[in-house]
């Protein structure tokens, strides 16, 4: 019992340390000396299957539209259905084929299926189809595959003379965020560097996995060839910066020291999940794609802490994510903590009701709120 309590304490401490230093950080210093060239050499991988229980069909950009009445984005030819445990894929196909629909993807960690229609529909028509599916005995839940904007935090380059200074007694220079939260004292006093490794996931744009000061166990949908646009738009900078803040290698004489360098580090690429973002510079992602990223980190890789430094979504999206996280707690991995974006982007594209630039801040369910550091 004591060991389990210590493990939970370590997870919470790592989450709090990561959150605090990310709030303090404002520039991708970690990447500055190692990201001058585009690190991705492979072409966009069209393979959608990731294991036997997760298959994500990539939604086409032309099928993401805006409902004129609500202003909400949605996929006009898809529904997401959650089935009962006794239902198999043949049962689903038989039930939906009469509606001109078929299964294109699945997430068996959530017991859900991505259903695509041969036709495209208005929001009202799609809602009617959703209701028809909802009335079938096969399904526990049916939902429209909502789409929403991703909002990067702002990149701010300070011109302070000590910005590139060494670790000193007073908080300044590259490591001032770590100094400000007294990371060295925490490392020594709580044996963080000697504890069993915790799996930590980063859900972000992309990651430079060849960085000399980073060691990923694995990444998810992170193989792209962005050319000059990848560097110009910072597609891999933010994810790499956050990963470095969390887990840059310790005592290797290079770069910086991460706040929790002993963790097992995993990354899930938001741009990879919505690969049309790379192809068309479209910043939208669907609930189904976001759920796939969370599934990879929380269920497949069993990450106890997940960092999500993105602005996104609204109340409807928040409600869908609550259901997803509750399902994880009840059926898959009940022991996880999410570190939410600090909201320091200040982007005027952020929806008015997405407080601090993230729909996670709109969650009212107490069980889930207790799992999120905002």
Q: What is the pLDDT along the chain (374 residues), one digit of tens a residue?
A: 445 555 665 566 666 556 554 544 433 344 433 433 332 222 233 345 567 899 999 899 999 999 988 888 999 999 999 998 888 899 999 999 999 999 999 999 999 999 999 999 999 999 999 999 999 999 999 999 999 887 654 433 334 333 344 555 666 666 677 777 777 777 766 565 667 789 999 998 888 888 888 999 999 998 654 443 444 445 667 888 889 889 888 777 777 778 888 899 999 998 889 877 666 666 788 999 999 999 999 999 999 999 988 777 778 888 888 999 999 988 766 689 999 865 544 444 444 444 445 778 888 899 898 899 87
| Judgement on whether residues 165 and 109 belong to the same structural domain of the protein | no
Which DSSP letter does residue 13 get?
A: H
pLDDT for position 229 = 43
| Judgement on whether residues 158 and 132 belong to the same structural domain of the protein | no
How many domains are contained in the chain?
2
Alpha helices in 102-236 (DSSP H): 123-134, 176-180, 183-189, 227-232
| Judgement on whether residues 209 and 348 belong to the same structural domain of the protein | yes
| Judgement on whether residues 156 and 110 belong to the same structural domain of the protein | no
CATH number at residue 283: 3.40.50
- The whole model's pTM is what? 0.79
Residue finishing a domain among 106, 128, 149: 149
| Judgement on whether residues 214 and 164 belong to the same structural domain of the protein | yes
- DSSP β-bridge partners for residue 146: 74
| Judgement on whether residues 78 and 221 belong to the same structural domain of the protein | no
| Judgement on whether residues 130 and 159 belong to the same structural domain of the protein | no
d(CA 153, CA 310) in angstroms, rounded, equals 7
Query: Distances in Å between the alpha carbon of 193 and those of 21, 129, 261, 319?
Result: 17, 53, 7, 37
pLDDT for position 191 = 62
| Judgement on whether residues 56 and 158 belong to the same structural domain of the protein | no
Which token pair is 115?
């259903």
pLDDT for position 158 = 34
Show the domain range for 86: 49-149
- Give every CB contact of residue 111 below 8 A, 6+ residues apart in sequence: 82, 83, 84, 85, 140, 327, 331
Dump the DSSP string for 268-293: EEHHHHTTHHHHH---EEEHHHHHHH
| Judgement on whether residues 240 and 368 belong to the same structural domain of the protein | yes
Residue finishing a domain among 112, 134, 149: 149
| Judgement on whether residues 125 and 274 belong to the same structural domain of the protein | no
- Give every CB contact of residue 274 below 8 A, 6+ residues apart in sequence: 58, 59, 282, 284, 285, 286, 289
pLDDT for position 343 = 56
| Judgement on whether residues 27 and 173 belong to the same structural domain of the protein | yes
Residue finishing a domain among 101, 134, 149: 149
Query: Distances in Å between the alpha carbon of 194 and those of 3, 130, 191, 331?
Result: 14, 51, 5, 31
Residue 76, classed as helix, strand or coil, is: strand
Q: Tell me which residue of 144, 150, 152, 151 sits closest to 67, measured CA to CA.
A: 144
- Give every CB contact of residue 16 below 8 A, 6+ residues apart in sequence: 373
pLDDT for position 333 = 61
| Judgement on whether residues 56 and 106 belong to the same structural domain of the protein | yes
d(CA 351, CA 354) in angstroms, rounded, equals 5
């Amino acid at each position: 019992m004591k060991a389990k309590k210590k493990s939970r304490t370590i997870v919470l401490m790592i989450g709090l340390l990561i959150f605090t230093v990310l709030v303090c950080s404002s520039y991708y210093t970690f990447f500055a000396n190692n990201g001058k060239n585009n690190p991705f050499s492979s072409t966009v991988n069209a393979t959608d299957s990731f294991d036997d229980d997760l298959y994500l069909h990539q939604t086409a950009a032309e099928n993401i539209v805006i409902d004129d009445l609500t202003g909400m984005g949605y996929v006009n030819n898809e529904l997401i259905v959650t089935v009962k445990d006794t239902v198999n894929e043949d049962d689903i196909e038989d039930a939906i084929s009469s509606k001109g629909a078929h299964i294109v993807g699945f997430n068996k960690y959530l017991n859900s299926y991505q259903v695509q229609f041969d036709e495209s529909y208005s929001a009202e028509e799609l809602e009617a189809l959703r209701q028809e599916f909802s009335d079938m005995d096969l399904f526990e839940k049916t939902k429209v595959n909502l789409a929403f904007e991703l909002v990067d935090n702002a990149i701010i380059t300070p011109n302070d003379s000590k910005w590139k200074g060494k670790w000193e007694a007073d908080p300044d220079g590259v490591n001032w965020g770590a100094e400000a939260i007294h990371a060295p004292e925490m490392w020594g006093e709580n044996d963080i560097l000697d504890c069993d490794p915790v799996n930590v996931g980063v859900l972000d744009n992309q990651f430079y996995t060849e960085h000399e000061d980073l060691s990923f166990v694995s990444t998810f949908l992170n193989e792209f060839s962005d050319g000059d646009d990848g560097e110009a738009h910072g597609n891999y900078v933010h994810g790499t910066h956050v990963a470095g803040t969390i887990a840059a290698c310790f005592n290797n004489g290079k770069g910086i020291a991460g706040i929790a360098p002993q963790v097992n580090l995993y990354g899930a690429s938001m741009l990879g999940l919505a690969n049309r973002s790379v192809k068309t510079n479209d910043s939208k992602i669907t609930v189904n794609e976001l759920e796939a990223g969370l599934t990879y980190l929380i269920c497949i890789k069993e990450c106890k802490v997940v960092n999500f430094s993105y602005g996104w979504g609204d109340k409807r999206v928040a409600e869908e994510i609550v259901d997803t996280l509750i399902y994880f707690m009840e059926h898959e991995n009940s022991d996880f903590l999410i570190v939410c974006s600090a909201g320091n982007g200040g982007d005027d594209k952020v929806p008015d009701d997405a407080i601090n630039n993230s729909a996670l801040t709109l969650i009212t369910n107490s069980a889930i709120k207790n799992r999120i550091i905002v």
